[in-house]
Chains A and B, each alone.
Chain A
Amino acid sequence: MIVKGEYMNRNLRWRVLLTLTVMAVALCLVLPSVPGIKKTPLGKFLPDTAINLGLDLKGGIHLTLGVDVDKAIENNMSSMGQDIKASAREDDLALLKPNLLPGPRLEAVLIGATKQEAFEKLLSKQFPNLRVEGKENLPEDRVKYLLSMTQDYKKYLSKLTIDQAVKTIRNRIDQFGVAEPDIRRQEGNRIQVQLPGLTDPERAIAVIGKTAHLEFKIVDDTVDPAAIKQGLLGPGRELTVMMQRGANGANAELPIVLKKDAVMTGEYITDARATIEQNNNQFAVSMTFNSRGAKIFERVTEENLKKRLAIVLDGKCYSAPVIQDKIAGGKAQITGSFTQEEARDLAIVLRAGALPAPVNILEQRTIGPTLGQESIDAGIMATGIAAIAIIVFMALYYSTAGIFADFVLLLNIVLTMAGLAAFGATLTLPGIAGIILTIAMAVDANVLIYERIREELRKGVKPLEAVDKGYGKATLTILDSNTTNVIVAIILYQFGTGPIRGFAVTLVLGIIMSMFTAIFVSRIMFDLYMSKRKADAPVSI
């Protein structure tokens, strides 16, 4: 199709206008990402949205945490067992203490076979989330029940556990003071945490990964912990370890025997702070309880005067002071010869609350800030050299047409960056590789068109018509070949983790932008160039 001059010129005006508008918008989006531009007078007029850099470029910690949902379900089942026993007692039903079995299932033994109906009614009324899996008559007029959770309730519990874990972790990170953390759920009971700017993974893991299940238990000093073995403990007792820091700073663990049932837990904590003890200048953590917790604490301390109260965190005892007097006012302190950092981190963890279930570190990637900066420098270097090599080559190989291709190539890079800024996408190191690849692919579109034009010219077609045919025939081919690249990039996005996703994003953006620059914009340049010359003057291609 050859259009008549006047129509073409009118049409051309609109196309030039559109291109200039796109370029202006793109510049507005890209310029804020240029370092130092905010300080120049121009900075005032630019939007604030700079391109996000991935952790591999700006440094930071990436963690994948696995939440032990099974443990949370087990805990829930176990506490439901205690509730069943309590409810049964209220209804005058005699029940042996329910046993937790793997699965998890509960084994409850009812005394008095005639009470079966009443017990089952109680179960279905007050514990609709449990179902009776099996029932067996035992001697001595007893009935054994096997109870399990409904699937729906299990699902609900695991969702609740993960949600709560995400919330707690977010709380802790916020208090830890990280700028722009990213915390999100992943499939398979996993949580992904990104902490830009942090470089000490051990400390971050200590804050995020600590379950922080705080319990207060009474110490049983009537038995010598060193003399007994696990199996010889009396009923309702447990053997744990007491953490002690020796003079050389190394931690030692000493055995200690506690009463198994906790007298109070950390759920009543409203505040926790790292403090320095006046008498020995050691760091400690002081906690404040809410009014209900304060009441419980007062009662517990009153009932256990002169006994030792163990403060147990995640199954380890940190201190066990003797209760000298009843403690009112809802304050308590954990001493355990902490370093300042440990005390501060423990306070954060207690303030933010316990995790509903233990978490495991499944994956940890830490990029130091120097490596990040090196990667940025290397990326810019590689992109620059690739671009210059291609630009020089194209100009030599296709002369004037090559210079058009070079211009749209630069435009393509700017537009791709603008796309990253506009969509709030993240630029990663593979993302920079994606830009380099896009440079090659964007030129390819022009190569296809130019080779086609050359071919037509060789056949003796007039220049204007050859340009037209070249663009016309090559456009479909370009669409076809780019489609497969987009398909692959989308699959990459689906499967990839952070950095790879950055690669897929720049690839897709670059390809889409190249359709605009290589087909649309370069055509405008050709049309402008051709309109100034005689119809059969030779084309510089």
Chain B
Amino acid sequence: MSFSFIKHETNIDFIGLRKYAFALSALMLLIGAVSLVMKGGPRYGIDFAGGVILQTKFNAPTDIDKVKKALEGTNLPGLVVQQMGKATENEFLVRTSTMDESSANIQTTATKALDEGMGGVKYDFKRIEMVGPKVGENLRGKAMEAMYFAILIIAIYISGRFEHRWMAAGLMAAGLFGGITALQYFHAPQVWLVFGALLITLGLCFFLRLNYALGAIVALIHDVLITVGLFSIMNKEFDLTIIAALLTLIGFSLNDTIIVYDRIRETRSLKTGDTLPVIINKSVNQTLSRTIMTSGLAFLAVFSLFLFGGAVIHDFALAMLIGIVVGTYSSIYVAAPIISSLAVPEVDAPAPAKGKTRTKTA
């Protein structure tokens, strides 16, 4: 026999709860922002900051202090030694913050220090990664670009698809292109370019009254920023796979948002005479069981990856897990209520200003 978690006639007043939801989101964003500011930005892994990683496995029981001591005298820049996995695995991650461009000197230095300092315990480098500063800088730029393109193309797609306003969507693309070209003309740094692009996108969505797109993008930025903030609080590193996870979570969170939007569009077309908040509430309630099922299953799948996928993919899975939770929440409590807050004939006038400024402060 089959069963269901969600009673089929739920009638939760999501729109009514939006003030609390916005406050919760603002709080999460604020905590993340404070952590980021206090730690001087995200903690970049070697992919973005450059540096060397030596994943070292010892053949005999070894404790971390001994490894640290062996490497102490090497003067390797920014040396960090971390235990990997269980203590019984005798596996350590040795990191330095820079890589010299000429050769693999760091590896040689570390090898010598370990040979001498570990009292002859045999070991093996399971993984050696060296990223030069130039490559790191390039990858950082490319990652920013990818995030920005993802959000732009999605904005255009949603506007066209949900409001049948490809013209407005095209206008937005043109406006954005113009704005970015202008910023490039003044040689603005890449980070500013991306932030500029986001602000222009949000502004254009607002003025062109592309409410669905605006709601979706605000929700996406919300998800990404909260995930980044939580990663900063947990002191996790950002590397290429984390960016991939963030991009995937953009896709995933949007998936939820679109399902809700789709239902709002469908309910609206029935012309029941309900007001927009009522329609939105109905739609969110009707899709609730699906939203929870899908997110729950995705969480289950990624949780398996988190538990069994190994150390290399661990943080990727963690970012996805956070993203799935935040993304599901934002589809229900952020993306949908924003449409209601932005709709023109709404009596509830001061709400849009609140929602918008809060997201922007992040």
When distances are taken between beta carbons in the complex, the residues of chain A under 8 Å from B272 are none
> Is B305 close to A, CB under 8 A?
yes
> Is A485 close to B, CB under 8 A?
yes
Quick check: B247 and A386 within 8 Å, CB to CB? no
Q: Contact string, B101-141, partner A, CB cutoff 8 A, digits 1/0?
A: 11110011000000000000000111111111011001100
When distances are taken between beta carbons in the complex, the residues of chain B under 8 Å from A366 are 125, 127-129
The smallest C-beta distance from B50 to any residue of chain A, in angstroms, reads: 9
Quick check: A496 and B2 within 8 Å, CB to CB? no
Residue from B55, B131, B258 in contact with A363 in the complex, judged by beta carbons closer than 8 Å: B131
The smallest C-beta distance from A499 to any residue of chain B, in angstroms, reads: 7
Q: Is the interface of A mostly helix, strand, loop or mixed?
A: helix
**A478: nearest chain-B partner, CB-CB:** B259
Quick check: A378 and B308 within 8 Å, CB to CB? yes
When distances are taken between beta carbons in the complex, the residues of chain B under 8 Å from A430 are 241, 244, 313, 316
When distances are taken between beta carbons in the complex, the residues of chain B under 8 Å from A458 are 8
Quick check: A390 and B129 within 8 Å, CB to CB? no
Residue from A382, A398, A454 in contact with B309 in the complex, judged by beta carbons closer than 8 Å: A382
Quick check: A439 and B301 within 8 Å, CB to CB? yes
> Is A540 close to B, CB under 8 A?
yes
Per the bound structure, the CA–CA distance linking A201 and B252 in Å amounts to 38
A378-B309, A386-B301 known; A485 and B255 CB under 8 Å?
A: yes
A386-B301, A480-B258 known; A541 and B290 CB under 8 Å?
A: no
Question: Which residues of A in the span 472-489 have a Cβ within 8 Å of any Cβ on B?
Answer: 473, 476-477, 480-485, 487-489
A433-B309, A436-B302, A440-B298 known; A491 and B247 CB under 8 Å?
A: yes
Question: Which residues of B in the span 195-240 have a Cβ within 8 Å of any Cβ on A?
Answer: 240
The smallest C-beta distance from B156 to any residue of chain A, in angstroms, reads: 10
> By the criterion of a CB under 8 Å from any partner CB, how many residues of chain B are at the interface?
72
Quick check: B2 and A540 within 8 Å, CB to CB? yes
A202-B107, A488-B150 known; A444 and B157 CB under 8 Å?
A: no
Q: Contact string, A139-152, partner B, CB cutoff 8 A, digits 1/0?
A: 00000000000000
Per the bound structure, the CA–CA distance linking A487 and B101 in Å amounts to 36
Quick check: A454 and B8 within 8 Å, CB to CB? yes
Per the bound structure, the CA–CA distance linking A484 and B331 in Å amounts to 15
Quick check: B294 and A444 within 8 Å, CB to CB? yes
Quick check: A481 and B255 within 8 Å, CB to CB? yes
When distances are taken between beta carbons in the complex, the residues of chain A under 8 Å from B108 are 202
Quick check: A500 and B304 within 8 Å, CB to CB? no
Residue from B128, B294, B304 in contact with A386 in the complex, judged by beta carbons closer than 8 Å: B304
Most chain B beta-carbon contacts within 10 A, residue among A367, A378, A399, A495: A495
The smallest C-beta distance from A417 to any residue of chain B, in angstroms, reads: 17
Question: Which residues of A in the span 361-400 have a Cβ within 8 Å of any Cβ on B?
Answer: 361-368, 370-371, 374-375, 378-379, 381-383, 385-386, 389-390, 393-394, 396-399
When distances are taken between beta carbons in the complex, the residues of chain B under 8 Å from A439 are 301
When distances are taken between beta carbons in the complex, the residues of chain B under 8 Å from A499 are 240-241
Per the bound structure, the CA–CA distance linking A382 and B129 in Å amounts to 25
Question: Which residues of B in the span 252-308 have a Cβ within 8 Å of any Cβ on A?
Answer: 252, 254-255, 258-259, 262, 266, 286-287, 289-290, 293-294, 297-298, 300-302, 304-305, 307-308
When distances are taken between beta carbons in the complex, the residues of chain B under 8 Å from A504 are 244
> Is A322 close to B, CB under 8 A?
no
> Is A208 close to B, CB under 8 A?
no
Per the bound structure, the CA–CA distance linking A360 and B103 in Å amounts to 8
Quick check: B290 and A362 within 8 Å, CB to CB? no
> Is A323 close to B, CB under 8 A?
no
A485-B252, A487-B153 known; A477 and B262 CB under 8 Å?
A: yes
A364-B104, A368-B124, A481-B255 known; A436 and B304 CB under 8 Å?
A: yes
Quick check: A362 and B305 within 8 Å, CB to CB? no
When distances are taken between beta carbons in the complex, the residues of chain A under 8 Å from B266 are 473
> Is B4 close to A, CB under 8 A?
yes
Quick check: B312 and A375 within 8 Å, CB to CB? yes
Quick check: B251 and A487 within 8 Å, CB to CB? yes
Quick check: B244 and A496 within 8 Å, CB to CB? yes
> Is A165 close to B, CB under 8 A?
no
> Is A451 close to B, CB under 8 A?
yes
Quick check: B251 and A485 within 8 Å, CB to CB? yes
Residue from B107, B157, B289, B309 in contact with A483 in the complex, judged by beta carbons closer than 8 Å: B157
When distances are taken between beta carbons in the complex, the residues of chain B under 8 Å from A473 are 266
Quick check: A202 and B293 within 8 Å, CB to CB? no
Residue from A362, A370, A379, A491 in contact with B150 in the complex, judged by beta carbons closer than 8 Å: A491
A56-B312, A389-B304, A491-B149 known; A480 and B128 CB under 8 Å?
A: no
A370-B126, A378-B309 known; A444 and B298 CB under 8 Å?
A: yes
When distances are taken between beta carbons in the complex, the residues of chain B under 8 Å from A367 are 126-127
Quick check: B240 and A500 within 8 Å, CB to CB? yes
> Is B49 close to A, CB under 8 A?
no
When distances are taken between beta carbons in the complex, the residues of chain B under 8 Å from A519 are none
Quick check: A205 and B103 within 8 Å, CB to CB? yes
Per the bound structure, the CA–CA distance linking A56 and B55 in Å amounts to 14
> Is A408 close to B, CB under 8 A?
no
A365-B128, A484-B251, A491-B153 known; A433 and B317 CB under 8 Å?
A: yes
Quick check: A491 and B290 within 8 Å, CB to CB? no
Quick check: B135 and A64 within 8 Å, CB to CB? yes
> Is A284 close to B, CB under 8 A?
no
> Is B143 close to A, CB under 8 A?
yes
Per the bound structure, the CA–CA distance linking A383 and B306 in Å amounts to 11
> Is B339 close to A, CB under 8 A?
no
> Is A441 close to B, CB under 8 A?
yes
Quick check: A440 and B301 within 8 Å, CB to CB? yes
> Is A31 close to B, CB under 8 A?
no
**B251: nearest chain-A partner, CB-CB:** A488
22 A-B contacts (beta carbon < 8 Å): A64-B135, A205-B104, A361-B130, A365-B127, A365-B129, A367-B127, A371-B126, A378-B309, A382-B304, A386-B300, A399-B1, A402-B2, A430-B244, A433-B316, A437-B248, A437-B252, A444-B294, A476-B262, A484-B254, A487-B153, A488-B251, A492-B146
Which 10 pairs from chain A and chain B are nearest by CB? A378-B310, A488-B251, A495-B146, A440-B298, A386-B304, A386-B301, A371-B126, A366-B128, A382-B308, A485-B251
